[in-house]
Amino acid sequence: LKRRLAGTKDMVAFLSAKAGMPLPVADYSQLLVEGDEAQEAATYSVLGSDALPRQPDDPSQDWAIVHELTHQWWGNLITCETLKDFWL
């Protein structure tokens, strides 16, 4: 599990640089549940075990983690135009 969530710190650094501001919450947590759930909430993300990357070294598989983390900065102000772009 640690390995599957290990990229979070780098994601925070990347998103902080892109946003031009640090993570806007004092503490951020990730709550693991069964299934493929992926949902943000203030100060934490709910992530289903099936939504986590199976191969942690493959950055194309960590989309759910970074997607939910991004909401800590922008909430739902930025959304995809179509479901084809839902990964954003």
Structure tokens given for 3: 């390995």
Computed over every residue of the chain, the mean pLDDT equals 88
Query: Has residue 25 got a pLDDT over 80?
Result: yes
Structure tokens given for 31: 């709550």
The predicted-structure confidence for 28-39, as pLDDT tens digits, reads as follows 999 999 999 999
Average pLDDT over residues 62-87: 82
Structure tokens given for 14: 């990347």
Query: Can you give the residue ranges of every domain in the chain?
Result: 2-71
CB 62 within 8 A of CB 7: yes
Would you state the pLDDT for residue 16? 95
Share of the chain above pLDDT 90, in %: 52
Where does the pLDDT of residue 88 fall: very low under 50, low under 70, confident under 90, or very high at 90 and above? Answer: low
CB 27 within 8 A of CB 11: no
Where does the pLDDT of residue 47 fall: very low under 50, low under 70, confident under 90, or very high at 90 and above? Answer: very high
Alpha-helix runs per DSSP H in the chain: 2-5, 8-19, 63-74
